[in-house]
Structures are given as structure tokens and as C-alpha cells.
Amino acid sequence: MTARFPAQPELAGHPYFQFRNNVLYAEDVPLDHLAERLGTPLYVYSRAALKAAWQAYHSAVGQRPVLVCYGMKANSNLAVLKEFARLGAGFDIVSGGELKRALAVGADPARIVFSGVGKQAWEMRDALAAGVKCFNVESEAELRLLSQVAQDMGARAPVSLRVNPDVDAQTHPYISTGLKENKFGIAIESALAVYRSAQALPALEIVGVDCHIGSQLTEIGPYLDALDKLLDLIDRLAQAGIAIRHLDLGGGLGIRYADETPPSPRALLDPVFERLQARGLGHLHLVLEPGRSLVGNAGVLLTTVQYLKHAEARNFAIVDAAMNDLLRPALYDAFHGVRPVHPRAGEATLYDIVGPVCESADWLARQRKLAIEAGDLLAVESAGAYSMAMASNYNTRPRAAEVMVDGDQYYVVRRRETLDDLLRGESTL
Ligand code: LLP
């Protein structure tokens, strides 16, 4: 990997994370201060970075009828959610738990869309009672259950069908969702028939068409291919007397982890609007569900080097963060930049950065050229999305604390878990 980056590339979270006098800062707060006061591993988010990422969508949308629903699975810390709610975001939720979080920060239910392939009856009930904007439904069986639940409540459920347009998003197979072999959505060839079934059910109201083709997309081609197929479907639905109010294009815009050059929201949306205009559908409301592109580069994970271990084939830097804190490298072979918070002069050595968990998959970065010593503080970049959100307690490791920096202030937005937290709720016979 290091060979691909002969020069130090700019920090992925630049300019919200940058070096000043040889110390890495989040906005105006030196990261070593945070580590001293709060310990490691520690997630650090930049409020200004969240705002800037939101602003990129906001300005690309302009005056057009687009609802941007933050795909909160990427990072559902209440402080992050509150920030987006304040900025005017809607939310894309995938569970009753995420609904509770959104409501806890005062989100407007009319700006919440409920996605997910396995919604349970209690989750449908909670979402109906709250008054969400739309259920993105993924199968006929789910349509029937939703209609039943709504009928029992004397309500009508607003629905979109999540259509699988069968396009190749050209991303990691685990995060590609728009192909025929994926579990997600309804095959586009069957969509018209399933819309007809939805129409025949008593307590549903058809409001939209939905898709989500994958995550960490770095090209707009797959989006536009999907868009064309969905617009054809919307035409066929209109001919069948089924009017659609909104088109949900899902999330998926990528971020720079290493040397990717993902399109900006504007680079994605301008051609989308052009196609809608060209097809006489300029009035159609759009929904977007971005997750990663709103938060991914707004966070780093701080970790301390515990030991250096020089083995025959490799050098290891054993750090105090692990796969339970950041699963992406183990699960997707994902690349995250790693920087010493206080870079040292001296000879750099190739290291694998690994955690203390008893798994060979417990690594955070491989073959990085670093000048480091035990006790040094490292920042793992691009850790704002799918990082703390996917953390676990494997090896009975308490989950890290999270802190949000705002200018020269910082706020602990999730305290570090204690060992007592971990044992609470368990009992012996
Ligand atoms: N909408 C739906 C229906 C989704 O399934 C997802 C993500 C999103 C929106 C947000 O997508 P984004 O804009 O963040 O790409 N854990 C993986 C990513 C899994 C994405 C799952 N779905 C990772 O760490 O790369």
C-alpha cells in the first residue's frame, strides 16, 4: 500500500484536521490534549466538517425540491444527529432504534424515510404512530404486513418500493446492493406487478419509487444508469394510472480514504436534474440518503501505540484500538490513513498497525511507513462513518468515547463505556 503513496497525501479530513507546529489538530484543538484528558481509543469529530459536508449538498440542491435524509446508520451519535437536524436534514432510518434516536433529537417525522429489508411489526407501528414520510418497502410480504399493521391502527402507510435496477455500482461486493444477486429490493422487471399488488392492499398509499445501489461509489455512471431505469419505470407506472410523488435515489456517494476522487454532490446532482428536465419530470421531488459523504471525513480515531514488535516477516505496532472499535479493515479490507499526532524525525519503518484482539483479522492498517515509538499517539483517518457505529464489545472491550470539537471547544458526546456497563444486564443461573 505504502508504495502507492510515495509522498504524504493531504489528510483525508483536511482542512478540519491539519498539522500546526507539528501537532495534529481537530479545528483549533490539539489532538494530544484530547487524548491526555479523555484517554484512547477516542473518536474525535469536527462540527465544522459536518456542516461543510451538509453545505455541499445544500448548495448543490439550491431551490429544487430535494429532501436530503441523512443515512444515520453511518454515525448515529445523538450530537451528530442533532447537528444535522438543526441544519434542516431529514433522516433515513433502518430500525425502531434509529427512529428513537431521530425522535430524541427532535427530528421532524415528516422528513424521515424508513428503509431496510426486514422491518418488524413493532417497528412499523412505531413509525406509523410517529408519522414518518415514507416506508421504503422491499418485498411483497413486507407490503402485506405493513398494510395489516396500518389497518389495525386505522392508519394508511405511505410507501415506496425499493426497486433493484440491476446496475453494477463497481464497489466492494459487501457494500454493493443494486445487483440481481443482492438481497435488497424488488427486481425492476417485477416492480410494476408489485406496485399493482400494493395498490390493491387496503391501508397503503403509494407515494414513491426508491433505490439504493451501493456505497462508496466513486463514479456517477451507475447512478445515472439506475436513474434511467427508474424513470422508465415511473413512465410505465403513470401509464398504469399509478402516480409517483417522489423518487428516492438512496445514498452511496464515496469519500476520499486514500487517493479516490469521488464526485461532489453537485457533480452528481447536476446531471440528475438535467435528465429529469429532459424527460419532462422536473417537478418530481427527490429524496437522497447520504451517510458516509456527510460524516466519513469528519472524524478520526485516536489510538496509542502500546508495543512495537519486530518479527521476522513483519514489524507490528500494537495499538490500543482494535477491530471492535474499527471493523472496516477486517471486514472490507478497507484502507484508512494513519498519522502520528506528533510526527518524529528519524527513520521510518514499515509497520502493520494491529490491535490487541485475538484474531489475525484484527488490523487497522498494513505496511505503513512510520517513525514511531511506544507511547506515541496515532490518528486513524476517515473514521466518522461506519466506525463507532459498527463497534462491538468483542473481547469484553469497552467501547471508546466520542468527542465533538467545535472551534477551540470540545464536548464529550458519548462517555467511554465502563467494565460495569459491560457486565450490567447479565446474570448467572
Ligand atoms: N440508504 C440505504 C438504504 C442504505 O442501505 C445505505 C447504506 C445508505 C442509504 C447510506 O449509504 P452511504 O451514503 O453511507 O453510502 N458498513 C459499510 C457501508 C454499508 C452501507 C450500508 N447501507 C462500510 O463501512 O463501508
Site of grid cell 445544500: 58
Q: Is 195 annotated as a binding residue?
A: no
| pLDDT digit string, tens, across residues 244-287 | 999 999 999 999 999 999 999 999 999 999 999 999 999 999 99
| pLDDT digit string, tens, across residues 106-130 | 999 999 999 999 999 999 999 999 9
User: Does CATH number 2.20.140.10 belong to domain 48-291?
Assistant: no
Regarding the beta carbon of 292 and ligand 1, being less than 6 Å apart is answered: yes
Ligand 1 center to residue 214 CA distance, Å?
Answer: 7
The torsion angles phi and psi of 419, rounded to 5 degrees, stand at: -65, -35
Ligand 1 center to residue 176 CA distance, Å?
Answer: 9
Q: Is 86 annotated as a binding residue?
A: no
Regarding the beta carbon of 386 and ligand 1, being less than 6 Å apart is answered: yes
**Mean pLDDT rounded to a whole number for the chain:** 95
Residue 176 pLDDT: 66
CA-to-CA distance for 182 and 36, rounded, in angstroms?
45
Strand partners, 147: none
CA-to-CA distance for 123 and 341, rounded, in angstroms?
43
Are 263 and 255 within 8 A, CB to CB?
A: no
> Which part of the chain is CATH 3.20.20.10?
48-291
User: pLDDT class for 8, splitting at 50, 70, 90?
Assistant: low
Q: Is 256 annotated as a binding residue?
A: no
Which pTM value belongs to this model?
A: 0.96
CA-to-CA distance for 117 and 303, rounded, in angstroms?
35
Per-residue pLDDT at 137 exceeds 50: yes
What mean pLDDT do residues 376-402 have? 98
Give the single-character DSSP code of 214.
B
Regarding the beta carbon of 387 and ligand 1, being less than 6 Å apart is answered: no
Distance of CA 355 to the CA centre of its chain: 23
Q: Is 111 annotated as a binding residue?
A: no
Mutation probe of ligand 1 site: the residue of 112, 215, 294 with most atoms within 8 A of C-beta: 215
Per-residue pLDDT at 7 exceeds 60: no
Residue 70 pLDDT: 99
Record the cell numbers describing residue 409, joined without a space: 471547544
| pLDDT digit string, tens, across residues 189-221 | 999 999 999 999 999 999 999 999 999 999 999
Per-residue pLDDT at 289 exceeds 60: yes
Q: How far is CA 304 from CA 77, 78, 199, 325, in A?
A: 23, 26, 57, 13
Q: Of all protein residues, whose CA lies closest to atom 9 belonging to ligand 1?
A: 251
Residue 5 pLDDT: 41
Per-residue pLDDT at 179 exceeds 90: no
| pLDDT digit string, tens, across residues 61-73 | 999 999 999 999 9
What stretches of 225-298 adopt beta strand conformation (E)?
Answer: 246-248, 285-288
> Which part of the chain is CATH 2.40.37.10?
17-39+298-423
Residue 211 is a catalytic residue:
no
State which ligand 1 atom lies nearest to the alpha carbon of 115.
3
Record the cell numbers describing residue 40, joined without a space: 484512547
What mean pLDDT do residues 137-164 have? 97
Regarding the beta carbon of 251 and ligand 1, being less than 6 Å apart is answered: yes
Residue 6 pLDDT: 40
Give the Cβ contact number of residue 219 at 10 Å: 15
Per-residue pLDDT at 41 exceeds 90: yes
| pLDDT digit string, tens, across residues 298-321 | 999 999 999 999 989 999 999 999
User: Does CATH number 1.10.10.10 belong to domain 17-39+298-423?
Assistant: no
Regarding the beta carbon of 290 and ligand 1, being less than 6 Å apart is answered: yes
What mean pLDDT do residues 177-187 have? 78
What lies within 8 Å, CB to CB, of 200 at 6+ separation is: none
Residue 2 pLDDT: 39
Ligand 1 center to residue 74 CA distance, Å?
Answer: 7
User: pLDDT class for 182, splitting at 50, 70, 90?
Assistant: confident
